[in-house]
A and B are shown apart, each in its own frame.
Chain A
Amino acid sequence: MKKPRVLIFSGYGLNSEAETAYGFTLAGAESEIIHINDIIDGLYKLDDYQILSFPGGFSYGDDTGAGIAYANKIKNHLWEKLLKFIEKDKLVIGICNGCQIIANTGLFPAFENNYGQRDLALLNNESARFICRWTDLKVTTKTPWLDGIEKLSLPIAHGEGKFFAKANDLKKLETNKQIALKYEAGEMSKYLDLPYNPNGSALDIAGIIDGSGKILGLMPHPERGMFFTQLPNWQIKKEEHKRTGKKTSSEGPGLSIFKNAVQYFNK
C-alpha cells in the first residue's frame, strides 16, 4: 500500500510542525515539513500531496489577530492552488494556530461551498489570557478525520480559541452538522476539577468542518496527546494498571486522528 503524503506547513512562527509530522508518520503517512515560501516559490506542488496540515504555533506572534497575517499570505499567493487541492478527494487539517489560519482564509465553514468567505472568528479566551490545559471532547458529526471516535480528551494551548459566529450562522452550523467537536465534561476536566469549556467558546465548539467534512479545523492539539505519558493523569493510571495487572498502551487518544487520515487513503 502506498503511503499517503502529508505536507505540513512551516515558517513565520508556526512551531508544532515537527511533532505533527511525527504523528502522521506514526500513523503510517509520509510527512514532509515545508516552508510556506518554498511552496509559494513553486519548489513543492500541493498536487503531490494527499493531506495538507496547518500545524499549531504563533504565526506572526498573533499580531493583528491570531492567524490573520499567515492567512493573508496564503490568500495572496496560494489561494487558487488551495482551491484546486480541496476540489479533489483530499484532506486538510488546521490545528490551533493552523485552525485560526484556515478560519481566516475561509476554508471553513464555507456555507454553500463558498470557500473564502469568513463566517467564523476565533476571539480572545474569556479570561483574556493564554491557557494551557487538558479538555474533553465529544464528536458531533461525521468526518473522515474523526471516523469511529465518539469521545476523546486532548490538551489546548491558546490565547484566542473562543469560536464566534453570528447567531443564525451558529444555527446553520448545527443544522448542517458542521460542528465537529464540542467541549464536554469528561474524564480530564473532572480529574483536574476545571470548567469543561476552557475559553467561553460559543456552543462549546472546539472544532469545525467544511461542508464536505474533509477540512477540519480544531483548537485542541492531537499531536500533544498521542502518547500515554502526555496525559495529565498517566501517573495514576499507571499505578492502577500496575496493581490490577492491566497492560498500559503507550499511545494517547490524539493518534487516532492521524490514523484516520491515513486510513482514508488506504481504504
Chain B
Amino acid sequence: MTARIGIITNVFDTRAKNRIDKLKNQGFKKIKDLWIYDIYTVAKKLDDKQLISIGKKLSNPLTQSVVFQTEKARFTPPKKFTFAIEIGFLPGVTDNIGHTAKEIIEDSLKTKFRNGEDVYSSQVTFLTGKVSEKDAKEISLTLYNPLIQRAHIKSYQQFLKDGGMDLFVPKVDIKHQPKVIEINLNISDEELAKIGKNGIQNQDGTTRGPLALDLSFMKTIQKYFKKLGRSPTDIELESLAQTWSEHCKHTIFNDPIDNIKNGLYKTYIKGATEKIRKIKGKKDFCVSVFTDNSGGISFDENYLITHKVETHNSPSALDPFGGAITGIVGVNRDTLGFGLGAKPVANFYGFCLADPAIDIPLYRNKNKSQKMLSSRRIMDGVIAGINAGGNQSGIPTPQGFVYFHEGYRGKPLVFAGTIGLIPKKIKNKPSHIKNAQPGDLIVMIGGRVGKDGVHGATFSSESLNTKSPAAAVQIGDPITQKKLSDAIINEARDQLLYSSITDNGAGGLSCSVSEMAKESGGFVLDLEKTPLKYQGLDPWEIWISESQERMTLAVPEKNWVKFNSLMKRRGVEATIIGKFTNSKKGIVKYKNKTILDIDMKFLHDGLPQRKMISDKTTNNKHQATIPTDVNLNMSVSQMLARLNITSIEFISSQYDHIVLGGAVLGPLQGSGRVNSEASVFRPVLQSQRGVVMSQALYPNYSDINPYAMAAASIDTAVRNAVAIGGNPDYIALLDNFCWTESNTPQRLFQLKMAAKACYDTAVDYQTPYISGKDSMFNEFNGFDKNSKPVKVTIPPTLLISSIGVIEDINKTVSLDAKKENDLIYILGETFDELGGSEYLSMKNVSSTKTPIVNTKKNFKMYKDFYKAIQKELIASSISIGKGGLAVAIAKKSIGGMLGVDVSLENLPGSITRNDLALFSESQGRILISIAPKNKKAFEKTMSGNKIKQIGTVTKKPEIIIKGLSGKKIVNIKLNNAKNQYKKTFKDY
C-alpha cells in the first residue's frame, strides 16, 4: 500500500517567498503565486488511524495541516493553480528526510519497516499565473538535478483528474542475479588497453565504467594471473584498479620523473619534512605524518591535533550539493580515522569557481543532451553542501575561501579540510598507533552499501567527459555519521574496544580493508554479510561502492559483544564481515565461493613504476608594458569589488563558526566585518592554547612561473598565520595539488617546479608537511552551444594550508584598525612584481614578473614580529595578499570603521610608480597598526628588518593615500569603500 502524506504550511513560508523571488529573477515573471507542500510517500501497509497519527507526528499543528492521498482516497487541492511540479529523488539516492520520517514512524507506531517498505520525501511546488507547460518544464529544470532527482509536472486539470500527483514509489528494483565473471586477459595489448580505459564489458555490450588502468598496469596484471594459471575475476580486476588508482596510489607524484628517481613526493614533500624534523631536533612537533588518514602534530602535553584537506572536484561538477557535502563529511571521516579516532573540531572549505554572473553553456556530449550545470548553480550548490555537512555535524567552520578563474568553468575545485583533536594516550596507549591484529574481526559500521559511488576513485582519476557515471554521485548523511562519530569518539575509543579504524572513502571496502590488512598481514572476508541498501548488487559493486558514512574497524573477538551492544544503543549498525589474518593474502568469499584471492604484496606494491619526462617549453606571453593608471581612486574602488577580493560574508555567516565554544578570531573581523584569511580557535576549553589556521593559493601565477606560484602560496599561508599571532616556529603545512593534463610533459614540468619550490620554501621556513593530497586530471572535455568540441583546463592549482599552535589565544591580533592616531607600519619590501596579480587581471594586461619570495629575510622578520605580538605591542595586523597594499589598507580601514592616512614615500623596497606600489603582490609583507606609545619598543623589537611607518589611523572616515612623491593619489570615503567591498555578493 502506498500513501502520500502532504504537509501544508498555513503561515508565511519564507521558502516559497525565496523560490518565487529567485524564479522571477531568472526571468519567469509570469508566475503570480507559489506555494510548497512537503510530501512523505509511505510505502507500507497502514490503516487510516495510523496514517492520521503519523501526519500529526510529521507536522506542527500550529502552523501546518496535513492532507492524505492513497489508492482509495483522492486528493482535491484546496486552491486552484496552473501547474504543480513535484521534485523527488531518483531510486537509490540518499534521502535523509525520508530516513528521519521513517525513524519517527517506527518510534511512534512501535513498528519496524520490513524489506521493501520505506518512506520517501519529495516536494510539490504549486504555481499560479500564466505559466505555460514549456515554462513549467523550464522552471522544473532550475529546481532539480536530473542526475539525482526526478520531476513530475501536472496541470491543474490533470491533477484533478488523477486525484493528485502520482502515487509513485522510487524504490530500487534490480532484477539482476548477482554473479561473478572471469575476465580473459590473454588478449592483445590493444584490447587490454581498452579494458583498462573503458572498463569491463557487460554481456549487453555496455561497459562498467573506467578502471583507469593504463597498458603497463594491465600487462602487469596479465602477467600476475598468467603465473597463477588462471584468469582474474571481475572483482579482482576492479579491486586492483581501485588500489592502484591515481586517487589512492598517486602514481604521478610517486613515480620517477626526469632524473628524480624517487619521484616528486618522496623527494620534495616527504623529503622536506624529514629534513626539517632533523633540523628541529627536540623542537620537532610532528607525531604522525603521511602514514595515516590525517597528519598529526603535538598540541600540548595531553593532546595531538590532526589536519587533513581533501578535494571533491568531479562529483561537485555533476552534483554540487552532493559533491560538497560528501567532501566535508568525508574529510571528517579522515579525522575519525586518524589513529584510534580523533574528534573533528574545525572545518574549512575552499571553492575554485568560474564567475557566476556569466553563463557559458557547456555540454558533455555532442548532441547537447547532457548540459553541465551553470556556474551559478555550481556555486550555490557547493555552498549549500558545506552548509548542510558542516552545520549538521556540529563542527565549526571558521575559515574558507572562494577563488574565481575562468579555467574552473568546466570543472570546479572543492576543497574540504578538517582539524581534529585526540588525547595523546588512551588507557596509557599512544593513540596515533593502530594495529589490526590477526584474528580481529572486520567490522563495518554506519551506513549501508548501495550502488552510489561505484567507481568514485577511478572516476576522479579521469577527466570529465560523457562517460562519467552518474552513479559516482552521492549525497552525504551527516546525522548518520554524527551518531557513528559520537559513539566512537565519546565511548568506544576510550574503552579501547577496537584495535584499528579507518574510513571507507575512495574505493570503499576494497581500499579500507586491504589498507588495514597491511597491519595484520592479510584478510578473509564474506561479502554477502555486508548490509545492503537494496538487493541486486554484484559482488564487485559491494566491494568498491563508496556509499557514505561508513568506517571499517578491527574489533578483537572478545570485545565484539560489548562493542555491538554499544553501537545498537546509539542507533549505529555494526556488522562483522570478515577477519584479519596474517596469511599474506587478501581473500574475499561470496556465498562460500572464493572470488578474490590476491597476494597482499602484489595488491599494494605490484604496480609498476612509469618513468615520466617533463618538458620546460612554455608559451609564456611576452612582458607587456603596464599602462600607467591615471585614475587610482577608481581602480582601488573597483579592486575592492573584484570576485577574488570582495566580502564573502554571505557564506561565512551561514556557516556555524562558533559551535563547540572555542571560537577566538573567526571569518569576519572588526566592526566592518571584513573576511579574514586566517582564524584562531581553542580546541580545549580548559586551556588557553590555540590553533591558528590559514590557506593560500595563487593559480594565476602558475602558467607564468610555477616555482614562484608555489613559493608565494607557502609564504602567504605561513604569513597569514603569523599575522594573526601564529608562532613561526610552530607551523605545519598541508599540500593539495590540483593539476590538469598531468600526462603531458609541459604540465609535468610545472608540477616538478612547483614541488621543488615546496621543498625549498618549506625547508627555509622549517614548516613541515604533515599530509597532502593530489588530483591530477582537472579538465573538461565537451562541447559548446554550437556542438563544437571544447576543452577547459583549470590553471594548475596548489593549495597550501597552514596550521599552527600558539600558547596564549589572548595575544592574537585581528586585522581591523583599532584607534585613531595609531601608527600604521608596513613590514617587508615592495617591488614591481605584478605578474599574475589581481590588478593586472582586472586591467587585462600580462606580465611575467611574479613575486619572488625571499625566505631568509622573511623568516627573520616573522620571528621578530611574533616577539612583538608576544609583547602585546600590536593593535592590528593584516597580511598583504591579493590586490596588494591598497586592498590591505582598505580592509584595515573598513574593519575598524576608521579612516587612514598613509603615504607611499620611501616605501621599503624598490618601486617606480604609484599604481605598481598600490597593487604589487610582493610577498613577505604585513600591514600593522600600533598604539603611539609602543613606537619605540616596536621598532626596537623589529630592528634589522625592513619596516616603515607609512601613516596613521584617523577619525575622519576617509581612506587617504599619498603617492611616492607625497601627492594625494587616493581619497575614498570609508562608507563608499565598504559598499564597494560588500556589493558583489550582496544579493546572494
Binding site for B on A (CB under 8 A): 10-16, 18-19, 22, 35, 37-38, 41, 56-58, 60-65, 68-69, 72-73, 76, 104, 118-121, 123-133, 155, 157, 159, 164-166, 191-193, 221, 223-224, 226-227, 229-230, 232-233, 235-236, 238-239, 242-243
**Do A76 and B107 touch across chains, with their CB atoms under 8 A apart?**
yes
**Do A69 and B103 touch across chains, with their CB atoms under 8 A apart?**
yes
Tell me if B483 is interfacial: C-beta within 8 Å of chain A.
Answer: yes
How far is A89 from B12 in the complex, measured between Cα atoms in Å? 39
**Do B685 and A22 touch across chains, with their CB atoms under 8 A apart?**
yes
Which residues of the other chain, B, contact A226 by a CB distance below 8 angstroms? 661
How far is A224 from B660 in the complex, measured between Cα atoms in Å? 8
B13: nearest chain-A partner, CB-CB: A124
**Do B101 and A64 touch across chains, with their CB atoms under 8 A apart?**
yes
Which residues of the other chain, A, contact B437 by a CB distance below 8 angstroms? none
A63, A119, A132, A191: the one contacting B653 at CB < 8 Å is: A132
CB of A130 to closest CB in B, whole Å: 5
Which residues of the other chain, B, contact A22 by a CB distance below 8 angstroms? 661, 685-686
CB of A108 to closest CB in B, whole Å: 13
Question: Given that A130-B656, A230-B658, A230-B661 are known contacts, is A11 also in contact with B486, CB under 8 Å in the complex?
Answer: yes
How far is A43 from B654 in the complex, measured between Cα atoms in Å? 38
How far is A191 from B57 in the complex, measured between Cα atoms in Å? 42
Tell me if B657 is interfacial: C-beta within 8 Å of chain A.
Answer: yes
**Do B663 and A224 touch across chains, with their CB atoms under 8 A apart?**
yes
**Do B659 and A243 touch across chains, with their CB atoms under 8 A apart?**
no
B18, B104, B571: the one contacting A64 at CB < 8 Å is: B104
Question: Given that A58-B391, A73-B107 are known contacts, is A132 also in contact with B654, CB under 8 Å in the complex?
Answer: yes
B104, B665, B673: the one contacting A69 at CB < 8 Å is: B104
How far is A211 from B168 in the complex, measured between Cα atoms in Å? 47
Which residues of the other chain, A, contact B387 by a CB distance below 8 angstroms? 130
Tell me if B333 is interfacial: C-beta within 8 Å of chain A.
Answer: no
How far is A221 from B96 in the complex, measured between Cα atoms in Å? 27
B109: nearest chain-A partner, CB-CB: A76
CB of A75 to closest CB in B, whole Å: 8
Task: Tell me the chain B residues, 41-93 only, with Cβ under 8 Å from chain A.
Answer: 57-63
Max chain A CB contacts within 10 Å: which of B62, B96, B686? B62
**Do B661 and A166 touch across chains, with their CB atoms under 8 A apart?**
no
Which residues of the other chain, B, contact A64 by a CB distance below 8 angstroms? 58-59, 97, 100-101, 104
Tell me if B482 is interfacial: C-beta within 8 Å of chain A.
Answer: yes
CB of B507 to closest CB in A, whole Å: 27
CB of B103 to closest CB in A, whole Å: 7
CB of A10 to closest CB in B, whole Å: 7
Q: Assuming A16-B394, A226-B661, A229-B663, what are 11 further A-B pairs, CB within 8 angstroms?
A: A60-B479, A63-B101, A65-B59, A72-B104, A121-B63, A128-B15, A128-B17, A133-B653, A233-B671, A235-B818, A239-B875
**Do A124 and B656 touch across chains, with their CB atoms under 8 A apart?**
no
**Do A239 and B654 touch across chains, with their CB atoms under 8 A apart?**
no
Question: Given that A37-B569, A130-B391 are known contacts, is A18 also in contact with B108, CB under 8 Å in the complex?
Answer: no
Question: Given that A127-B14, A192-B671 are known contacts, is A37 also in contact with B104, CB under 8 Å in the complex?
Answer: no
**Do A104 and B571 touch across chains, with their CB atoms under 8 A apart?**
no
Tell me if B694 is interfacial: C-beta within 8 Å of chain A.
Answer: no
**Do A128 and B571 touch across chains, with their CB atoms under 8 A apart?**
no
Which residues of the other chain, A, contact B100 by a CB distance below 8 angstroms? 60-61, 63-64, 69
- Binding stretch for chain A, among B272-280, B357-365, B526-534, B809-817: B809-817
Tell me if B931 is interfacial: C-beta within 8 Å of chain A.
Answer: yes
Instruction: Bits for B1-25, please: 1 = Cβ < 8 Å to A, else 0.
Output: 0000000000111110110000000
**Do A230 and B663 touch across chains, with their CB atoms under 8 A apart?**
yes
**Do B671 and A191 touch across chains, with their CB atoms under 8 A apart?**
yes
How far is A194 from B658 in the complex, measured between Cα atoms in Å? 18
A68, A126, A132, A164: the one contacting B58 at CB < 8 Å is: A68
Tell me if B664 is interfacial: C-beta within 8 Å of chain A.
Answer: yes
B99: nearest chain-A partner, CB-CB: A63
15 sample A-B contacts, Cβ–Cβ < 8 Å, listed by A number: A12-B479, A15-B659, A37-B571, A58-B482, A73-B107, A76-B108, A121-B11, A123-B12, A124-B15, A129-B654, A130-B391, A132-B657, A229-B663, A229-B664, A235-B669
CB of A200 to closest CB in B, whole Å: 8
How far is A76 from B108 in the complex, measured between Cα atoms in Å? 6
Question: Given that A68-B60, A126-B14 are known contacts, is A15 also in contact with B658, CB under 8 Å in the complex?
Answer: no
A19, A38, A125, A233: the one contacting B661 at CB < 8 Å is: A19
Question: Given that A164-B63, A192-B673 are known contacts, is A128 also in contact with B482, CB under 8 Å in the complex?
Answer: no
Which residues of the other chain, A, contact B653 by a CB distance below 8 angstroms? 131-133
Max chain B CB contacts within 10 Å: which of A69, A126, A226? A69
CB of A146 to closest CB in B, whole Å: 21
B18: nearest chain-A partner, CB-CB: A128
Query: Main SS of chain A's interface residues?
Result: mixed
CB of A186 to closest CB in B, whole Å: 14
**Do A58 and B569 touch across chains, with their CB atoms under 8 A apart?**
no
Tell me if B706 is interfacial: C-beta within 8 Å of chain A.
Answer: no
**Do B659 and A224 touch across chains, with their CB atoms under 8 A apart?**
yes
**Do A221 and B62 touch across chains, with their CB atoms under 8 A apart?**
no
Which residues of the other chain, B, contact A61 by a CB distance below 8 angstroms? 96-97, 100, 388, 392, 477-479
Tell me if B393 is interfacial: C-beta within 8 Å of chain A.
Answer: yes
A199: nearest chain-B partner, CB-CB: B14
**Do A193 and B661 touch across chains, with their CB atoms under 8 A apart?**
no
**Do A221 and B658 touch across chains, with their CB atoms under 8 A apart?**
yes
**Do B60 and A157 touch across chains, with their CB atoms under 8 A apart?**
no
**Do A242 and B663 touch across chains, with their CB atoms under 8 A apart?**
no
A13, A56, A73, A243: the one contacting B392 at CB < 8 Å is: A13
Instruction: Bits for B625-662, please: 1 = Cβ < 8 Å to A, else 0.
Output: 00000000000000000000000000001111111110
Tell me if B261 is interfacial: C-beta within 8 Å of chain A.
Answer: no
**Do B569 and A130 touch across chains, with their CB atoms under 8 A apart?**
no
How far is A157 from B653 in the complex, measured between Cα atoms in Å? 9
A10, A19, A128, A229: the one contacting B660 at CB < 8 Å is: A19
Which residues of the other chain, B, contact A60 by a CB distance below 8 angstroms? 100, 103, 479
Question: Given that A132-B656, A166-B62 are known contacts, is A236 also in contact with B661, CB under 8 Å in the complex?
Answer: no
How far is A72 from B392 in the complex, measured between Cα atoms in Å? 19
Which residues of the other chain, A, contact B686 by a CB distance below 8 angstroms? 22
Which residues of the other chain, B, contact A13 by a CB distance below 8 angstroms? 392, 394, 478-479, 482-483
How far is A165 from B61 in the complex, measured between Cα atoms in Å? 11
How far is A228 from B393 in the complex, measured between Cα atoms in Å? 26
CB of B355 to closest CB in A, whole Å: 22
How far is A41 from B565 in the complex, measured between Cα atoms in Å? 13
**Do B18 and A72 touch across chains, with their CB atoms under 8 A apart?**
no
**Do A235 and B101 touch across chains, with their CB atoms under 8 A apart?**
no
CB of A127 to closest CB in B, whole Å: 7
**Do A229 and B656 touch across chains, with their CB atoms under 8 A apart?**
no
**Do B654 and A118 touch across chains, with their CB atoms under 8 A apart?**
no
B21: nearest chain-A partner, CB-CB: A128
Which residues of the other chain, B, contact A233 by a CB distance below 8 angstroms? 671
CB of B176 to closest CB in A, whole Å: 31
B654, B810, B818: the one contacting A130 at CB < 8 Å is: B654
How far is A64 from B959 in the complex, measured between Cα atoms in Å? 50
Question: Given that A123-B11, A157-B658, A239-B819 are known contacts, is A229 also in contact with B682, CB under 8 Å in the complex?
Answer: yes
Which residues of the other chain, B, contact A235 by a CB distance below 8 angstroms? 665, 669-670, 813-814, 816, 818
A122: nearest chain-B partner, CB-CB: B60
CB of A235 to closest CB in B, whole Å: 4
How far is A13 from B549 in the complex, measured between Cα atoms in Å? 14
7 closest A-B pairs (Cβ-Cβ)?
Answer: A15-B394, A19-B661, A63-B100, A128-B14, A235-B814, A58-B392, A63-B97
B686: nearest chain-A partner, CB-CB: A22
How far is A104 from B63 in the complex, measured between Cα atoms in Å? 12
How far is A192 from B670 in the complex, measured between Cα atoms in Å? 8
Which residues of the other chain, A, contact B673 by a CB distance below 8 angstroms? 192-193
**Do A38 and B569 touch across chains, with their CB atoms under 8 A apart?**
yes
B394, B669, B809, B816: the one contacting A58 at CB < 8 Å is: B394
**Do A124 and B14 touch across chains, with their CB atoms under 8 A apart?**
yes
